[in-house]
């Protein structure tokens, strides 16, 4: 996504499209695929497609670390103003449409959630078109804190971010006896915020070693490593060691993919141009794909349930979501984004 505050990195938008597509295909194939014991390295990317959310988080931390650099001072008011313009116009649109669709199931707590950023609560998970909004709670809270995290990391060094990551891991250990509901970890700051912190840490490291992984083999190897990680996780029970360790470990793997993608000498200009363009609408894709899936989920093109959902997802749900997202991007997102301003204090 192009910005007034940094140079454009098209390959990061390509990764955004990858993340949005992973989440869409995961939701398109639920529940057919999640109950299967899959050892196929391609299908595992669909079964674990929900982890595209972690790619979004790692990308956010990484990109804002790049934008802020090491010494730039952030004007907090302008920074939050930009973030509000980026997130809330489309989010409010989705809320209003959802309120119209599910008017008999809608109550004031949903609107309070919009203002207090509590989208991971049960009432949102039970409204089909709002189920994905839990990530925005975590993302926007990171935005609220990032200028402070940036100052603290500059003042105390990267060890400050490492300490904060460690704190979240310890809190997961301490919270485990209090709740055995793994959704408490997956849909909240408790289980996801350190992914953003690892992304931020990786971004600051990349500023010091911007030629890291500048070769032909780092990107394929990082994707292969991530595939192996997915295959291993498919057989691991979600107990305390998993819940404690997986967020920073997975974030490191995604960050290796991010850096390898940025610096890869493998270049396919036409493909990169197309995926970068699609990545620019990834936020619309993420928020709007439930509307498409809910309308297409009962279509039967072939008899095999899983193959049918994969076919419908790839050939119908994904293209329709892209078309709808381009429309929403140009009539809702982009007009508001034109009001964004520089949020660095010049000359400081």
Among 112-116, 135-139, 165-169, 173-177, the range scoring the smallest mean pLDDT is: 112-116
Say whether pLDDT at 17 is over 80. yes
Q: Is residue 346 part of a domain?
A: no
Q: Report if residue 52 sits inside a domain.
A: yes
Asked if residue 347 has pLDDT above 50, the reply is no
pLDDT for residue 306: 87
The total number of structural domains in the chain stands at 1
Residue 83 lies in a domain: yes
Q: How many CB atoms lie within 10 A of CB 281?
A: 27
pTM score of the predicted model? 0.93
pLDDT at 34 over 80: no
pLDDT for 40 equals 81
From residue 277, how far is each of 1, 87, 88, 98 by CA, in Å?
9, 19, 22, 28
What length does the chain have?
A: 348
Q: Determine, yes or no, domain membership for 88.
A: yes
Q: Which region among 173-177, 220-224, 326-330 has the lowest average model confidence (pLDDT)?
A: 173-177
Range of the domain at 107: 10-337
Question: Which range (28-42, 57-71, 260-274) has the least confidence?
Answer: 28-42
Exposure string over 20-58, b if 16+ CB within 10 A, otherwise e:
bbbbbbbbbbbebbeeeebeeeeebbbbbbebbbbbbbb
Alpha carbons 37 and 199: distance in angstroms, whole number: 31
| pLDDT for 207 | 94
Q: Cis before residue 31, ω within 30 degrees of 0?
A: yes
- The answer to whether residue 27 is domain-embedded is yes
Is residue 243, in this structure, part of any structural domain at all?
Answer: yes
Name the average pLDDT for the chain: 89
Determine the Cα–Cα distance for residues 42 and 256; give it in Å rounded to an integer.
Answer: 20
Q: Is 32 within a domain? A: yes
**How far is Cα 49 from Cα 51, in angstroms, rounded to an integer?**
5
Q: How confident is the model at residue 112 (pLDDT cuts 50, 70, 90)?
A: low
Who wins on pLDDT, 197 or 102?
Answer: 197
Residue 241 lies in a domain: yes
């Amino acid at each position: 996504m192009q910005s007034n505050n940094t140079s454009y990195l098209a390959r990061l938008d390509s990764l955004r499209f990858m993340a949005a597509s992973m989440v869409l295909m995961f939701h398109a194939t639920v529940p057919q695929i999640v109950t299967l014991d899959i050892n196929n390295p391609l299908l595992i990317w669909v079964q674990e497609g929900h982890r595209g959310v972690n790619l979004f988080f790692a990308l956010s931390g990484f990109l804002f670390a790049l934008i802020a650099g090491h010494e730039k001072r952030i004007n907090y008011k302008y920074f939050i103003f930009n973030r509000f313009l980026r997130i809330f116009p489309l989010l409010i649109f989705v809320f209003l449409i959802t309120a119209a669709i599910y008017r008999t199931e809608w109550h004031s707590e949903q609107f309070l959630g919009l203002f207090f950023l509590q989208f991971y609560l049960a009432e949102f998970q039970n409204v089909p078109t709002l189920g994905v909004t839990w990530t925005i709670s975590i993302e926007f809270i990171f935005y609220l804190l990032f200028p402070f995290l940036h100052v603290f990391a500059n003042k105390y060094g990267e060890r400050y971010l490492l300490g904060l990551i460690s704190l979240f891991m310890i809190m997961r250990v301490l919270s485990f006896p209090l709740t055995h509901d793994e959704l408490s970890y997956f849909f909240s700051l408790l289980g996801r915020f350190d992914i953003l912190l690892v992304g931020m840490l990786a971004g600051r490291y990349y500023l010091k070693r911007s030629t890291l992984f500048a070769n032909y083999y780092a990107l394929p190897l990082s994707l292969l490593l991530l595939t192996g990680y997915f295959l291993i996780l498919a057989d691991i029970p979600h107990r305390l060691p998993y819940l404690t360790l997986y967020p920073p470990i997975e974030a490191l793997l995604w960050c290796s993919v991010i850096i390898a993608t940025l610096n890869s000498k493998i270049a396919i200009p036409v493909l990169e141009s197309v995926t970068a363009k699609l990545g620019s609408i990834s936020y619309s894709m993420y928020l709007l794909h439930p509307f498409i899936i809910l309308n297409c989920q009962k279509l039967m093109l072939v008899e095999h349930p899983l193959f049918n959902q994969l076919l419908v997802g790839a050939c119908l749900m994904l293209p329709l979501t892209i078309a709808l997202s381009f429309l929403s991007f140009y009539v809702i997102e982009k007009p508001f984004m034109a009001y964004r301003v520089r949020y660095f204090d010049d000359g400081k």
